[in-house]
A and B are shown apart, each in its own frame.
Chain A
Amino acid sequence: MFKRILIANRGEIALRVIRACKELGVETVAVYSEADENSLHVRYADHAVCIGPPPSKDSYLNIPAIISAAEVTDAEAIHPGYGFLAENAHFAELCGQCNIKFIGPSAASIRAMGDKAQAIATATANKVSTVPGSGRILKDENDAVEIAKKIGLPVMLKATAGGGGRGMRIAHTDLSLRSAFKTASQEAQACFNNPDVYLEKYIEEPRHIEVQLMCDSRHGSYVALGERDCSVQRRHQKLLEESPSPMLSEKTRREMCAMAVRLARAVKYEGAGTIEFIMDRWGRYYFMEMNTRVQVEHTVTEEVTDFDIIKEQIRIASGEKMSIPNKEIKMRGHAIECRINAEDPDNNFCPSPGTITEYNVPGGPGIRVDTHVYKGYRIPPNYDSMVAKLIAHGRDRTEAIARMKRALDEFVIEGIKTTIPLHKKILENDNFIKNNYSTSFIEKMEKERSL
């Protein structure tokens, strides 16, 4: 086991990692920017090093500063948390070169699965279903129509050099596909100087379901810790996650978990990772991408499986065997997480930094709060707006929802605006309660409100 670990992150995840280290008897080194001088993770750690001014690029993304901090404090390993440098293959590589263990997968794994096209190719090669598509650039509109016939309408045209929704068109008929091909190519040429487009099946009303993996490649053990449903999103940002997914039958769950494990084994993945699937309204699912890091919502899986994902990450990285058995893991009860952000839901989710004047954390059975804020804490404007993660666990989904509603009522945060009112609305929403929702849920709910 490591003697000392440096946590290359901030906020609630830095605190989470420090807690796991304390339980394992490992010393901790916190790094912080000048804006985070009074942050809780700095106070909890055994040692702390200021690494730069507030901007992320000069601090939490400042590779030389972080490695230097590990060297001067004799940290044997670095836990990157999520975001920042967590999926930076170059950083992972550099750690290895400097004789510091990067707590996560190898640089090669990060590269292999981080490249979307390569990840999809690996998935296909391992009999993991991917979104049907042309698999190549389209020659002309006739080509598009022929391929659309094979995979079935509706389809989405995407610019190969594209991003930000540009050069994308959805077509529901052959006729609209022909005109869409023309306009998509023209837009792609104008925006990216490259008119090439390819085609994918358009998944309507998708649900976002991901499988949590814990991989101890050194000991040949790859385990799926069940799945999470993360379909409640706003502008592709997750707001609420739950486990297990109320969408899945036991059979589908087994299939998806088996696919995820197969993929991890194929790339000899080490540590924690997540395989993301997209599921259509008929229950057909397709591989989307892999996240080669621990995620914000790992907490939900911890609550239904009773495993400590962060501690297992550290164990695996230190060469120890993970304590998760290499067999099918049963999930216990139901868990929901609400991401409480410092944003104003009544003002287009405008960020609301400032000082927290009142802070009362909910409690009681089945309630867990992962947070780095406290009364008197000033939220710096330089980083993400997450204030707390509120997790409710119950024997079933009904109890989890009831506990979450109670906890949201108990949660007092004053001095800033938060998304708590929005979460209350979600949990009272009929469609959510009846499990009748997809990634368009928030959009629909907002439309209903404005009527």
Chain B
Amino acid sequence: MAKKESENNIKVEALNEALKIMEKGSLIELSYEDTGLKIQMKKAGITATAPAPQQYIAAPAQPVQKAQAAEPEAQKLPVDDASTGVIKSPMVGTYYTSSSPDTPQFVKVGDTVEPGKTVCIIEAMKIMNEIKAEVKGRVKEILVENAQAVEYNQPLIIVEKS
């Protein structure tokens, strides 16, 4: 009797540990099977499917096309229109906000830009490429971080046209 009780205690302890891991981390489903005991735990609100291939460069404004798990709606890509200009990366590389670690940023939110003004650097194969604005306006949002990897056509900076 006591043996069975202590056995059960061990199982309950193990399950509590598993629950903690589930709550904290990315574990969404857990199956446990033993003689006389079978437990299945699923995290609420998430459809567990095969691991979705994640886009390596996780820019916040990218359309989430490849994730099969339930992402409620695809995130909207910023678009060019009458009032907004989007500066996109013309190449694959690494985004830098300034020309070197100790020089100031090319642009900050709120700064004005005009055609020809350097807004950032994209480094590709050890070559630093200066990216220039093509519209006139005010920097509304910077979508990427310093030293972030970017891909072709990835939106970098949103400009409110003036």
Contacts and interface: CB of A to CB of B under 8 A. Distances in A.
B125 A98 contact: yes
A34 B153 contact: yes
A53 B89 CA distance: 12
B97 interface: no
A64 B124 contact: yes
Given A34-B153, A72-B149, A98-B125, A44 B53 contact: yes
Contact of A51 (B56, B149, B152): B152
Q: Helix, strand, loop or mixed for chain A's interface?
A: mixed
A72 B53 contact: no
Interface in B87-101: 91-94
B54 interface: yes
A269 B95 CA distance: 40
Contacts of A67: 125
A404 to B, nearest CB: 32
B125 A49 contact: no
Q: How large is the interface on A (under 10, 10 to 19, 20 to 34, 35 or more residues)?
A: 20 to 34
A42 interface: yes
A48 B125 contact: no
Interface in B109-149: 124-125, 149
Contacts of A138: none
B4 interface: no
A45 B92 CA distance: 18
A446 to B, nearest CB: 43
A29 B93 CA distance: 15
A115 interface: no
B124 A38 contact: no
A73 interface: yes
A324 B65 CA distance: 40
A146 interface: no
Contact of B92 (A34, A47, A51, A98): A51
A46 interface: yes
A65 B56 contact: no
A68 B124 contact: yes
B66 A47 contact: no
A51 B92 CA distance: 6
Interface string A31-75: 000100110001111111111110000010000110111011100
Contacts of B150: 72
Contacts of B91: 64-65, 68
B32 to A, nearest CB: 27
A48 B62 CA distance: 12
B66 A43 contact: yes
Interface residues of B, number: 19
Contacts of A51: 92, 151-152
B21 interface: no
Nearest to B94: A72
B152 A48 contact: no
B57 interface: yes
A50 B54 CA distance: 13
B162 interface: no
Q: Helix, strand, loop or mixed for chain B's interface?
A: loop
A103 B66 CA distance: 27
B151 A69 contact: yes
A34 B57 CA distance: 16
B9 interface: no
A72 B154 CA distance: 14
B124 A48 contact: no
B55 interface: yes
B93 A68 contact: yes
A59 B153 CA distance: 12
Nearest to A33: B152
B66 A72 contact: no
B56 A29 contact: yes
B65 A49 contact: no
Given A65-B92, A69-B92, A72-B92, A47 B56 contact: yes
Contacts of B149: 72-73
A49 B124 contact: no
Contact of A71 (B53, B57, B125): B125
A339 B92 CA distance: 34
A45 B94 contact: no
B54 A47 contact: yes
A69 B94 CA distance: 10
A68 B154 CA distance: 15
Contacts of B55: 47-48
A37 B53 CA distance: 13
Nearest to B55: A48
Interface in A1-44: 29, 34, 37-38, 42-44
A400 B125 CA distance: 49
27 contacts: A29-B56, A43-B66, A44-B53, A47-B56, A48-B53, A48-B56, A48-B66, A49-B56, A49-B57, A49-B92, A49-B152, A50-B151, A50-B153, A52-B152, A53-B153, A64-B91, A65-B92, A65-B152, A67-B125, A68-B91, A69-B151, A71-B124, A71-B125, A72-B57, A72-B93, A72-B149, A98-B125
Per CB-CB distance, the 9 closest pairs between chain A and chain B, nearest first, are: A47-B56, A72-B149, A68-B124, A68-B92, A50-B151, A50-B152, A49-B151, A69-B92, A65-B92
Interface of A: 29, 34, 37-38, 42-53, 59, 64-65, 67-69, 71-73, 98
Interface of B: 53-57, 65-66, 91-94, 124-125, 149-154
Given A46-B56, A73-B149, 12 more contacts: A29-B56, A46-B54, A47-B55, A49-B92, A49-B152, A50-B152, A51-B92, A53-B153, A68-B124, A72-B57, A72-B92, A72-B93
